[in-house]
Structure 1
Amino acid sequence: MFNMIGGTQFADMLVEVDAKTRFSQALLGRMAKDIGELKAVYGALYAHGTENNAKGVCAMIPGLQVSQITMAMRALEAGGRLREANTRIIDFQQSMPIAMLWGQGDKASSDSMTLDTSRHLHSARMEYRRKQHGVGIYVHMLDTWALFHDQPIVINDRQAAPAVHGVEAHNCTRREDQIRLSLLAVDTHGYTNAAMAIAKLLGFDLCVRLRQLSERKMFMARGGTPPESLERLVVGKVSLRKIRAGWMELLRLIASIRQGRLTAAEAIARLGSAARGDPVHAAADELGKLLRTIFLCDYFTIPEFRREMHALLNRGESIHQLQRAVYHGRVGVSRGRRADELRAISTAHTLLTNVVIAWNTMKMQDVVDRWKVLKHPIEEHWIRRIGPVHFEHVNFKGTITFEIDSYADALIQRQSKLRARRV
């Protein structure tokens, strides 16, 4: 399939996807006035979302000045622009029939990726496996392969808070006629008992691939009698009294999240290990133990459920390889010192990754449609196993040239083109 698609330049991908989605209009707040302004926006995406800075990108794009790229980078840091542009790309990718073979859009997985950086960055921490300082980017991926949420995090911290926050931030923006997430798959670092309780009360299941056998404990309410087949496994007791004591305050906490008074990440951060002894923490922790027991029963007894969860997590690992191809270097010494700049780096990197995914999905759909016309044998279960994260056919390096002329009608204001003709 990818032999039929053929090789391409990353810059050509960017322009073609922009012509289909008009994400540059979301970044600027309007259509570009001329080709120079559009190139500056693309250059700002490169400067934020890859290892290059404004000066390096300027050297790769003929005809641009460093000041143009710098001004565009500051404009992209404005709240919501990159997120809106990313949403347009996701909607375009999910609109293609082939995406429905990969999933229904109601399940997701999440994981973090580490970008190497200077030890002088205030949010940088040592990643002990590689002995490098880095900053984390925590991303959420739909079962249709699209990255729908990202946020910079401090590595080595528990990731349950950003995991739950990403799903709630996504669900609260969905209309009544749109699909909401019902399941999030995470690894051991992305859960706590309290987080499982908060997630369930917010309307979705937090499913975790547990690494340590010591965490695979079964819990029952005090006074209950376990079945004979589970007598050896049940090692813990849950206090219903603690759940009742903190239940009303726990519901108030959920209501505060739904009303926007605080985020899910802030709520779970307050229910960390330092909150032991608090009635709300005790209620959430005890309820989370029961939910984890129900999850483990499903995990060990339903092979289809276990296979689906592992497939979601494995897709997340595949996404990381593509993310490394887009951003394979280090964050510059002078980059990421402001919170808004660090968020722009994270979201621009996610947007560029989604551009590759959306372009691959579009070309894969074209090949499938062509095969159907030619009566070429093709099975849906075969397509389900092919993901749009292939990148060996993409050239990410070298001199960057944007072939905008073919898409000028979709990307540049009509008045500007008329004035150019008159001149």
Structure 2
Amino acid sequence: LWGQGDKASSDSMTLDTSRYLHSARMEYRRKQHGVGIYVHMLDTWALFHDQPIVINDRQAAPAVDGVEAHNCSRREDQIRLSLLAVDTHGYTNAAMAIAKLLGFDLCVRLRQLSERKMFLARGDTVPEALERLTVGKVSLGKIRAGWMDLLHLVASIRQGRLTAGEAIARLGSAARGDPVHAAADELGKLLRTIFLCDYFTIPEFRREMHALLNRGESVHQLQRAVYHGRVGVSRGRRADELRAISTAHTLLTNVVISWNTMKMQDVVDRWKVAKHPIDESWLRRIGPVHFEHVNFRGTIAFDMDPYIDALIERPAKQRVARLK
């Protein structure tokens, strides 16, 4: 009832830390230094990708990178993502173009929509219905000039020669003047225009996209409850340490979401047997992110022995000895 698993949203949250951590930046809304964790969430409430980032930077690269990493891990008979909803920080025109060529739509909830332009190809006449809007022009010549190189870039992503995040990072503002950047930027303007037309004229599409983003904000509240302290300087100096913190944080958040989902399903099944079913429209709007009943100060014990070899990389001599 929550979704089909083919749509997702992504957003960043901040973990508080000391200002002496090299990757820490000031979050101006909360007036606190912190490190960012960028998380992707399916429309079924599951968190499927995370990575540490530097806050206040554009987040288009990790947004597209997470979806492509997820889709690449899917078999042909498994569901792949076709739509990713992001906020203004999670997109650029080039990122929209790369995402489309990789097989999914990057949909953005833009800030100050009244100031956003719509674009038409140079030489096309503006429709009468759009005469009151500010309409920019797109150069099809620039798209043609950089089209083959842009396809080569996407093919390199698909072959694993570089990640989608690395490709989009190369197409940032510093790449202006490069034919590939120009082609991706001009194509992204056209794709953004198509998206805005759908956004303004299809209420169901707009409502679904906002619902995905609002779910992500709800998950952030749970994530802050899971990690209520600060990232210590001694634990977040290296990239692998931040990665471990991010992944463990996401794992524990998924544990709470899974537990809540299981308990909610038990109640639904019990009420059906008691001839008191719950309206499905209600269940669609009830999320499994409540945490008042969870004791986050407790201790969780895991039986690690069956998974030691998979989790810990042993020295070569010890591995040979174990094989003998």
Does the alignment reach a TM-score above 0.5? yes
Q: Greater CA deviation, 268-277 or 228-237? A: 228-237
Q: From the superposition, tell whether residues 118 and 246 of structure 1 become closer, same or farther in structure 2 (CA, over 3 Å).
A: same
CA distance in 2, matches of 1:155, 1:106: 28
Q: 1:286 Cα deviation (Å)?
A: 0.2
CA contact 2:268–2:277 (8 Å) conserved in 1: no
CA contact 1:226–1:234 (8 Å) conserved in 2: no
Aligned length in residues? 323
Q: TM-score, normalised by structure 1?
A: 0.71
Q: From the superposition, tell whether residues 370 and 412 of structure 1 become closer, same or farther in structure 2 (CA, over 3 Å).
A: farther
Q: 1:235 Cα deviation (Å)?
A: 2.0
Q: From the superposition, tell whether residues 220 and 414 of structure 1 become closer, same or farther in structure 2 (CA, over 3 Å).
A: closer
Look up the match of 1:184: 84
CA distance in 2, matches of 1:409, 1:202: 35
Q: From the superposition, tell whether residues 223 and 417 of structure 1 become closer, same or farther in structure 2 (CA, over 3 Å).
A: closer
CA distance in 1, matches of 2:323, 2:180: 69
Q: Greater CA deviation, 278-287 or 406-415? A: 406-415
Partner-residue secondary structure (3-state), 1:314: helix
Look up the match of 1:120: 20
Q: 1:320 Cα deviation (Å)?
A: 0.3
Partner-residue secondary structure (3-state), 1:390: coil
Q: 1:131 Cα deviation (Å)?
A: 2.2
CA contact 2:49–2:70 (8 Å) conserved in 1: yes
Q: What is the 5 A alignment of 1:180-259?
A: 180-213=80-113, 216-259=116-159
Q: From the superposition, tell whether residues 127 and 409 of structure 1 become closer, same or farther in structure 2 (CA, over 3 Å).
A: closer
CA contact 1:112–1:139 (8 Å) conserved in 2: yes
CA distance in 2, matches of 1:240, 1:277: 15
Q: 1:312 Cα deviation (Å)?
A: 0.3
Q: 1:407 Cα deviation (Å)?
A: 16
Pick the structure with more helix per residue. Answer: 1
CA distance in 2, matches of 1:405, 1:248: 52
Q: From the superposition, tell whether residues 107 and 402 of structure 1 become closer, same or farther in structure 2 (CA, over 3 Å).
A: closer
Q: From the superposition, tell whether residues 263 and 157 of structure 1 become closer, same or farther in structure 2 (CA, over 3 Å).
A: same
Q: Deviations over 1:189-236 (max 9, x none)?
A: 100000000000000000000002365211000010121011121420
Q: 1:398 Cα deviation (Å)?
A: 4.8
Q: 1:329 Cα deviation (Å)?
A: 1.2
Q: Deviations over 1:352-389 (max 9, x none)?
A: 00000011111111111111111113111111111011
Q: 1:400 Cα deviation (Å)?
A: 6.1
Q: Greater CA deviation, 119-128 or 271-280? A: 119-128
Partner-residue secondary structure (3-state), 1:102: coil
Q: From the superposition, tell whether residues 235 and 362 of structure 1 become closer, same or farther in structure 2 (CA, over 3 Å).
A: same
User: Which of 1 and 2 has higher RCO (CA within 8 Å, sep 6+)?
Assistant: 1
Q: From the superposition, tell whether residues 371 and 411 of structure 1 become closer, same or farther in structure 2 (CA, over 3 Å).
A: farther
Q: TM-score, normalised by structure 2?
A: 0.92
CA distance in 2, matches of 1:418, 1:362: 41
Q: From the superposition, tell whether residues 359 and 409 of structure 1 become closer, same or farther in structure 2 (CA, over 3 Å).
A: farther
CA contact 1:322–1:391 (8 Å) conserved in 2: yes
What is the percentage of aligned positions where both structures have the same residue? 90
Bigger-Rg structure (1/2): 1
In angstroms, what is the RMSD of aligned CA positions? 4.8
- Unpaired stretches in structure 1, ≥5 consecutive residues: 1-100
CA distance in 1, matches of 2:240, 2:209: 34
